[in-house]
Homo-oligomer: A and B are copies of this chain.
Amino acid sequence: MVGGGPGSFIGGIHRLGAQIAGIDLVAGVFSGNRDKSLEAARGYGIAPDRCYPTAEALFAAESARADGIDMVAIATPNHLHLPVALQAIAAGVDIISDKPATATLAEVLLLRDALAKGDSRYALTFTYSAYPMVREARARIAAGEIGAVRKTIVTYAQGTLAGPARPDAVRSWRTDPAQAGVGGCVSDIGTHAFNLAEYVTGTPVTAICADLGSQGDERLLDDDCTVLLRFGGGGRGALIASQIAFGERNALSFQVYGDRGALHWHFDQADMLRLVRGGDTSLLTPASAGLLAPTPVPRGIGNGLIAPFAILYRDFAEACAGKPELIDNMLPGIEAGVRSMRFVERAVASSADGAGWVTLDG
């Protein structure tokens, strides 16, 4: 793992998720600060000699070991995603990276090229794609169960930046353009919502019209966005992502309306998918009969982030072990990374330009 130093929340999630999937964390660079990195290594139960000062050192030393790493998890601030990924590709190590893929659209295009030339497998932790009922929704739509999709609403509301601006150690790099890229909320959680919209409907968004706002006086990046969506095939949609939604913790949801049915999901009841078909409404759960996309879930681990990380690691291991077709299909890969970065850059442009429509063409 690169990143995930002391105080990192996501680092521990990576490690537990991987462990449940049977993948051990054995080496890493957990912080730019050597003492912090070693402190994290101790917490993770990693030998000091496999806690490296830099990513270069990590890949060099591990490549030389017979029991060196097969896979690297990238859990750094956004601006380091690209350089670490390029080093991993050079070392032939598979990559599972936190989203967004990189800090900018230009960077992600570079990364796509490098992946095309190298041998590394690549997956992005768009965690919501690993919830069993999200996958079931995707399968139901693909099977035509709700007919042609006409209207898709995705909402992601958090209250993390609500209230007066305040120093917040955990989130600080996210509000700094130099580390996070051009998007704030639109990048941090808007991309989750965007990916979810495309993942579930199985249909690309072709054009957007965005309104991004930043209401705290000292904030350089957006903390709120609403985006009108047009999908290939003629469907319309709305994407609302906000970090000024006072009191919300992680209110992610979608409603997808077709001409023969509808699907509803909310993170607060992540194990429940409401399916409307004709005059019938069903509640689907991972235990329902007749699921189209049954997703085995590690038992007892609930709906927190550990569960989807375990599923992503399990599926990525399977993809690396001979099922590459899972990537960019069941598992978000570099294409999802490119599309989400393009979404961020175009949304920023659309909003800056008075919210005119812009395409998402390549």
- List residues of chain A with CB under 8 Å of any chain B CB: 9, 12-13, 16, 20, 146, 150-151, 153, 155, 157, 159, 162-164, 209, 211, 213, 215, 224, 226, 228, 230, 234, 236-238, 240, 242, 244-249, 255, 257-262, 268-269, 274, 276, 278-285, 287-290, 299-307, 354-357
Contacts and interface: CB of A to CB of B under 8 A. Distances in A.
Contact of A283 (B12, B13, B281): B281
A226 to B, nearest CB: 4
Contacts of A240: 153, 238
A215 B235 CA distance: 9
Contact of A304 (B150, B211, B213, B301): B301
Contacts of A211: 209, 228, 230, 236
Contacts of A260: 163, 246
A334 to B, nearest CB: 26
Contacts of A157: 255, 257
Q: Report the 5 A-B pairs with minimum CB-CB distance, sorted nearest first.
A: A302-B304, A279-B289, A302-B302, A247-B276, A300-B305
Given A9-B299, A301-B301, A354-B357, A146 B281 contact: no
Contacts of A283: 274, 281-283
A139 B262 CA distance: 27
Contacts of A307: 302, 304
A356 B269 CA distance: 37
Given A226-B236, A247-B281, A13 B302 contact: no
B280 A282 contact: yes
Contacts of A279: 287-290
A300 B12 contact: yes
A210 B305 CA distance: 36
A300 B289 contact: no
Contacts of A9: 299-300
Contacts of A305: 300-302
Nearest to A282: B282
Nearest to A17: B300
Contact of A306 (B151, B162, B213, B300): B300
A305 to B, nearest CB: 4
A357 B357 contact: no
Contacts of A151: 224, 242, 244-245
A351 to B, nearest CB: 10
Contact of A356 (B163, B234, B355): B355
B234 A215 contact: yes
A261 B236 contact: no
B280 A281 contact: no
B150 A215 contact: yes
Contacts of A257: 157, 159, 162, 242, 244-247
Given A228-B355, A283-B283, A301-B305, 8 more contacts: A16-B20, A209-B211, A226-B228, A246-B257, A246-B260, A278-B289, A301-B301, A301-B306
Nearest to A302: B304
Scoring A150, A234, A289 by chain B CB atoms within 10 A of each residue's CB, the highest score goes to A150
A215 B231 CA distance: 13
Contacts of A280: 282, 288-290
5 contacts: A153-B240, A209-B355, A280-B282, A281-B283, A355-B356
Contacts of A278: 289
